[in-house]
Amino acid sequence: MAIHTFTDRNETQTPGTNPAPGKELLDFDIPELQRTLKLAGLLQTSLELESVLQYFSESVQETVPFTGLEYVNNALNFSFNFGKTDRHSCAYRLSIAGDALGEMKFTRNKRFSEGEMEQFENSIYHLVYPLRNAILYQKAVQAAQLDSLTGANNRAAMDRCLERELELAHRHDHPLSLMVVDVDHFKLINDTLGHSAGDAVLKSLTACMKETMRASDMLFRYGGEEFALVLSGTDLDGARQMGERLRAAVAAYPFVYNNKEIDVTVSIGVASLGRRDSANRLFNKADTALYQAKKAGRNQVHSSAEKQGRQS
């Protein structure tokens, strides 16, 4: 596998290497120029990272045959795949102005020629700026969905996620559960140790929940000391088990502020989606179960009254 580092040509061009005036145009292939202009135009039509890469993949495949293209950006936790992976590959590490833009790999069942790799580079040259803009947009979107204190997703992100997951669950008749988590006696922590201690507890709680939750679970800070987890593909029994595992993990977690340990527990309410439930109704069911857990003495998990999340 060949791995190349690709940077914007303007950053690496050596003085004196420009062709004589007029020569570049005389030697230029008109169909190639048309393809290049088409690609450049397409890449400017969207800031969505997946759309930009889709346009790029389809356009490049018209010029150089390949069976698969893979793009990975670890900083964004983003990957894109076009076609299927094959035996031979040519890979590029993309960067511009010192900023890493991720890695791209083309594959097929026979080796790429030097001329074909040069065509890849010509196409990538037109990709790097739209790709950078799409990455910046993606980062801005992600930042707008994060809680600045804990790093968990925020309430706006939860509202969008819950609506999407409800639609999928109803369409495919899959189970879906919601867990609402509240820190017990949080006001007492703020009043006795100060708000900085309260902030430290919320950060540590977020870390504890991320360590305990499954990869498919989605964590949100709903507000104040209240968090929510969307449990895709999980029925009410599974949600109860997950809630109990999380409750026990928090009770055993070492919460420390200024070298002093703080006893922290949580109360948890869980509910599963019924066939006629809206996002608001599902949340209200979980919130009511949370109230019952706190009323019963806290540091407990309670579920909604429905026995099964898919009941009417």
Q: Among all chains, which residue has been given the structure tokens 């037109």? A: 126
138 contacts: CB under 8 Å, gap ≥ 6: 49, 76, 78
Greater model confidence, 248 or 172: 248
Q: So what's the pLDDT on residue 45?
A: 77
Q: How many CB atoms lie within 10 A of CB 103?
A: 18
pTM metric for this prediction: 0.63
* Positions marked catalytic: 225
| CA distance from start to end of the chain | 56
Instruction: Answer for the pair 88, 113: CB distance below 8 angstroms, yes or no.
Output: no
Which of these, 142, 137, 122, 134, lies nearest to 53 by C-alpha position? 134
Indicate whether 200 pLDDT > 90.
Answer: yes
Task: Say what angle helices 49-61 and 30-43 make with each other, to 10 degrees.
Answer: 170
Percent of the chain with pLDDT over 90: 69
Indicate whether 23 pLDDT > 90.
Answer: no
Indicate whether 260 pLDDT > 70.
Answer: yes
* pLDDT tens-place string over residues 103-143: 999 999 999 999 999 999 989 988 999 999 999 988 887 77
Instruction: Answer for the pair 49, 37: CB distance below 8 angstroms, yes or no.
Output: no
Q: So what's the pLDDT on residue 310?
A: 38
Indicate whether 6 pLDDT > 60.
Answer: no
Average pLDDT of the residues in 193-209:
96
Give the model's confidence band at 27: pLDDT under 50 very low, under 70 low, under 90 confident, else very high.
low
Q: Average per-residue pLDDT in the chain? A: 86
Question: Which tokens in the block code for residue 292?
Answer: 């019952």
Give the model's confidence band at 144: pLDDT under 50 very low, under 70 low, under 90 confident, else very high.
confident
Instruction: Give the SS3 label for residue 41.
Output: helix
Which of these, 226, 207, 194, lies nearest to 151 by C-alpha position? 207
Q: So what's the pLDDT on residue 98?
A: 83
Q: Among all chains, which residue has been given the structure tokens 């690709």? A: 6
- Which residue stretches of the chain are H helix? 9-12, 23-27, 30-43, 49-61, 114-144, 155-172, 186-193, 195-212, 236-252, 279-295
Indicate whether 247 pLDDT > 50.
Answer: yes
Indicate whether 17 pLDDT > 60.
Answer: no
Q: So what's the pLDDT on residue 163?
A: 93
Indicate whether 307 pLDDT > 50.
Answer: no
Average pLDDT of the residues in 301-309:
67
**Residue 165, phi then psi, degrees to nearest 5:** -70, -35
Phi/psi region, residue 60 (left: phi>0; alpha: psi -120 to 50; beta: rest), is alpha
Cα angle: 194, vertex 218, 269; to 5 degrees: 65
Lowest-confidence pick of 68-82, 225-239, 250-264: 68-82
Which of these, 158, 167, 304, lies nearest to 226 by C-alpha position? 158
Indicate whether 21 pLDDT > 80.
Answer: no
Which of these, 210, 215, 245, lies nearest to 227 by C-alpha position? 210
Instruction: Give the span between the Cα atoms of 108 and 200, in whole angstroms.
Output: 51
Greater model confidence, 8 or 278: 278
Average pLDDT of the residues in 28-54:
72
Indicate whether 2 pLDDT > 60.
Answer: no
Indicate whether 201 pLDDT > 90.
Answer: yes
Greater model confidence, 179 or 59: 179
Instruction: Answer for the pair 123, 104: CB distance below 8 angstroms, yes or no.
Output: no
Q: So what's the pLDDT on residue 248?
A: 98
Percent of the chain with pLDDT over 70: 84
* pLDDT tens-place string over residues 47-81: 899 999 999 999 899 889 999 999 999 988 889 99
207 contacts: CB under 8 Å, gap ≥ 6: none
**Mind listing the domains of the chain with CATH numbers?**
2-144 (3.30.450.40), 155-303 (3.30.70.270)
Q: So what's the pLDDT on residue 4?
A: 56
Indicate whether 208 pLDDT > 50.
Answer: yes
**Residue 240, phi then psi, degrees to nearest 5:** -60, -45
Instruction: Give the SS3 label for residue 175.
Output: coil
Question: Which tokens in the block code for residue 157?
Answer: 């992100």
